[in-house]
Structure 1
């Protein structure tokens, strides 16, 4: 893994824009940039400028002026990567971007690999591994909740909690290892009562972090919600009302929606991915049958099912609808089910009261007029446990972290059992070392080239 050369990449999104930022990092970043940067002050050279300064000038290739730019200098170790860093703000023409990048590639720079700037920040001790991964999560965040979690992790909230537990466990591990050196003298350096208290505290924290993953995964990836029901009950109209745009085709012809339509919105800072499905009914239409099959597949994948009926049906077919509701509940017993009577604008007040008395858990709504849509959004957000988010607690969103925490919990539980059974220190030391190993995997004290390659391969090139 070569990390001592000078790399270059476009740091802003590819394509044309008002401006673009090109980033260089490495021991020769300032010297190489100085060859092609001509300041508006003829006597100025980049080699003797202070760190964290910005300079106006031109990028030149021989006698040809490529662009007027602002060039920022960040000297090691006070930079993002911990190396000398140059950032060039140029005009956003793709031609200009490529001309500048190609100029540097021809003169001592190498094109950066995906995530290589952040990888260098990790290798140079500017970020631990969990903070580096949070950079990618921050870039990918598309709602308030995922942004908040990524910012918390990037600031070190998660890693500092893990590092503190690891340090305390390591101190006790050192004392137990010391006991092994004096095993013939039968002495105890590690206070077993304090050690048990530490183990109980570590188990408590690990279980809390592991339990938070279900919430974190929902926040990071969004909640899939399947909107299902018979044809022409207003599923597409509801989707359009939730999205506040004409996303799905609406008509009075039953079976108009023959495939699933998906779109995502943020409710209360949480991403919800709504899936408008084909109407469920008996049909001989081959295409519609395929759509209905997909409906049940989407219901399997969804975390919440919204079951829609036309409110007018409740007047004459309430018994049949109760049977249909029970069928869905029996087929998906673990999924939250929201039962909606749509088109309530077509019912009288007396009919609405009768409906509410017969179906206590039903949600009344008119997708066409918007009545009940906001209340539905509140009901959906109620399915997400956002208490940890509101209390600013650490929430795990990364599958790799979840796996390491789970393995650490297994080893710590073995240590606790060993303490309770009075096992010798040499046997407990094995499990403690394994727990420390899994803690180190999270923050990056223990890594392999393969692990780093897998993590940073998912980054964009300029980060």
Structure 2
């Protein structure tokens, strides 16, 4: 296997840069650069020189043994000065060693998975952790990276293997002293796992939204204050505001962090009947985005009726408090009631977050749905008698293989290139 290297920190000027070298020749390469290496897991200050004797930099050097590094391989890390020139000179020197090459995107993490240091869910969690923008995303990614989902999958797998083994004992040793009536225990195991999978599926949408962000659509009639509210919440002029009705033609999006919850606010075209073709397209798009959003904030003036598509959990606010003086109204222009708007949106989303599971990606959902399908079939077959236990056992084994695909044990080779390609070179 090749020895690989890459800059593990961000590109560009910085106080410190970390260059990672991993693979069978990493210690030899590190010794050639630093003259000598410190003991594993002990930092040592070393003078780095090229093979021709050129002084490259002074760096803090760390080494890790097999099975003790991130990749599970022998590894050397060089903490150098963060100069672009320094980093480039060291990377160029590393590229000159035989059997030593620049890592591909995500190759360090891929090697960590192949060596058993991480499962596939943890790999995905690491990607999410790197991309995390809010506190809630950070916490969710760390839970996954810590192996919480993998532990659940292992627990489900063990219960299903027990159920299948009971059925297979009856099939294989029918003429010996093996209790034939195992249906009660098998049914109980299947029921328990089915319940756990369904619970995970129930929390999927919220968990996925924590990872990708909730969408909150601001809707209402023209000139009711939607764009002004968006700008006030964003703290900048993200949308154009004017007295001319129909100014907003397309959906305008603004990313926000509300108490750690990632939110995309959507400013939509004003809802009204119009003969303007372009405005009509904007209104149609506004309705589509609003119906697909996780939450809708409807702004109205006076006794205006609430649209039929507004749901019970959506929020309704009367606007222009600066003009009407109504105590329960809000005004994005003056700031009156904005705290109430933010608190209401945050509370509504917190209720959704409360039921979040650990499954966060579509492939997780599909595997769980298929698992439930096969286990419900197995449960039905078990109830029909021991004559078809072999078919029930095969349904259970199929469900087990699906769960194993979640953590990357089987059937995910076609996913790996896509997953690891999203990582930077140093990961």
Query: TM-score, normalization: structure 2?
Result: 0.91
Distance 1:189 1:24 in 2: 58
1:194 CA drift (Å): 2.1
1:84–1:386 distance in 2 versus 1, CA, 3 Å:
farther
Residue matched to 1:76: 66
Distance 1:285 1:19 in 2: 57
1:279–1:127 distance in 2 versus 1, CA, 3 Å:
same
The equivalences for 1:48-59 within 5 A come to 49-59=38-48
SS of aligned partner of 1:17 = coil
1:293–1:201 distance in 2 versus 1, CA, 3 Å:
closer
The equivalences for 1:138-149 within 5 A come to 138-149=129-140
The equivalences for 1:5-404 within 5 A come to 5-38=2-35, 45-46=36-37, 49-61=38-50, 62-108=52-98, 109-185=100-176, 187-188=178-179, 191-281=182-272, 288=279, 291-309=282-300, 311=301, 314=302, 318=303, 321-322=304-305, 325-326=306-307, 329=308, 332=309, 337-348=314-325, 352=326, 364-384=329-349, 386=351, 389=354, 394-404=357-367
Q: Is the 8 A contact 1:226 1:299 kept in 2?
A: yes
SS of aligned partner of 2:15 = strand
CA deviation string 1:202-233 (max 9, x = no partner) = 11111111111011111111111222233332
1:335–1:53 distance in 2 versus 1, CA, 3 Å:
farther
1:446 CA drift (Å): 1.5
1:8 CA drift (Å): 1.0
Distance 2:63 2:351 in 1: 42
Distance 2:23 2:354 in 1: 39
Distance 1:95 1:288 in 2: 53
Q: Is the 8 A contact 1:19 1:91 kept in 2?
A: yes
SS of aligned partner of 2:43 = strand
1:201 CA drift (Å): 0.9
1:296 CA drift (Å): 3.5
SS of aligned partner of 1:71 = strand
Query: TM-score, normalization: structure 1?
Result: 0.84
1:97 CA drift (Å): 2.1
Residue matched to 1:359: none
Distance 1:265 1:428 in 2: 49
1:59 CA drift (Å): 2.4
SS of aligned partner of 2:367 = helix
SS of aligned partner of 1:24 = strand
Distance 1:200 1:172 in 2: 11
Distance 1:33 1:219 in 2: 41
1:307 CA drift (Å): 2.4
Q: Is the 8 A contact 2:183 2:383 kept in 1?
A: no
1:65–1:186 distance in 2 versus 1, CA, 3 Å:
same
Distance 2:19 2:318 in 1: 55
CA deviation string 1:280-299 (max 9, x = no partner) = 44556666555445433433
Gaps of 5+ in 2: none
Distance 2:360 2:63 in 1: 35
Distance 2:85 2:74 in 1: 26
Q: Is the 8 A contact 1:342 1:366 kept in 2?
A: yes
Gaps of 5+ in 1: 39-44, 357-363
Question: Does residue 449 of structure 1 match 2:426?
Answer: no
Distance 1:335 1:304 in 2: 10
Q: Is the 8 A contact 1:177 1:426 kept in 2?
A: yes
1:398–1:335 distance in 2 versus 1, CA, 3 Å:
farther
Q: Is the 8 A contact 1:157 1:394 kept in 2?
A: no
RMSD of aligned residue pairs (Cα, Å): 2.5
Distance 2:243 2:162 in 1: 72
1:116 CA drift (Å): 1.2
CA deviation string 1:264-312 (max 9, x = no partner) = 1111221110122333445566665554454334334423222223x4x
